[in-house]
Amino acid sequence: MSPRRSRRARRRTPTGRVLLLVAATIVLALLVGGLSQVARQSQGYDANSDRTLAAQGSVLAEQSNATSRSVQSLMEDLPTLPRQTLQAVLDGAVQQTAALSQQAGAATGHTPGSLGSELFAVFTERAQSMEDLRAALDGLLGMQSSPIAGAPPSAAAVPAAPGGSLSAAGAAGRITAAGALLSKSDALYSSVRRTLAESAAHARLPRSVWVSDPQLWRAGNVEGLVDRVATSPTLESSHDVVLRTVRLTPPLLPTPQGSAANVAVLSPTTVVGVTAVLANQGASGEPVVHTTFTLADQASGATVVKTETTALALDGSVTLPTVDFVVKPGTTYVLTVQVVLPPGQTLTAGTAFAEPLSVAPAT
When pLDDT is averaged across residues 131-150 and rounded to a whole number, the result is: 81
Q: Distance between the two ends of the chain, CA-based, in angstroms? A: 135
pLDDT for res 28: 53
Q: What is the pLDDT of residues 175-195, one digit of tens each?
A: 999 999 999 999 999 999 999
Which helix (H) or strand (E) element contains residue 334? strand 332-340
Which helix (H) or strand (E) element contains residue 222? helix 219-230
Q: What is the pLDDT of residues 64-78, one digit of tens each?
A: 999 999 999 999 999
Give phi and psi for 2, each to the nearest 5.
-75, 155
Q: Are 268 and 329 in contact (CB under 8 A)?
A: yes
Q: What is the pLDDT of residues 314-333, one digit of tens each?
A: 889 999 999 999 999 999 99
Q: How confident is the model at residue 2 (pLDDT cuts 50, 70, 90)?
A: low
Is the pLDDT at 259 greater than 90, yes or no? no
Of 127-131, 167-171, 199-203, the one with minimum mean pLDDT is 199-203
Cis peptide before 356, with omega less than 30 degrees from 0? no
Per DSSP, what are the bridge partners of residue 355?
Answer: 335
Handedness of CA 277, 283, 284, 290 (dihedral sign): negative
Q: Are 144 and 286 in contact (CB under 8 A)?
A: yes
Give phi and psi for 105, each to the nearest 5.
-65, -40
Residue 337's CB: how many other CB atoms inside 10 A? 23
Is the pLDDT at 234 greater than 80, yes or no? yes
Percent of the chain exceeding pLDDT 90 equals 59
Q: What is the pLDDT of residues 47-66, one digit of tens each?
A: 788 898 899 999 999 999 99
Q: Are 141 and 164 in contact (CB under 8 A)?
A: yes
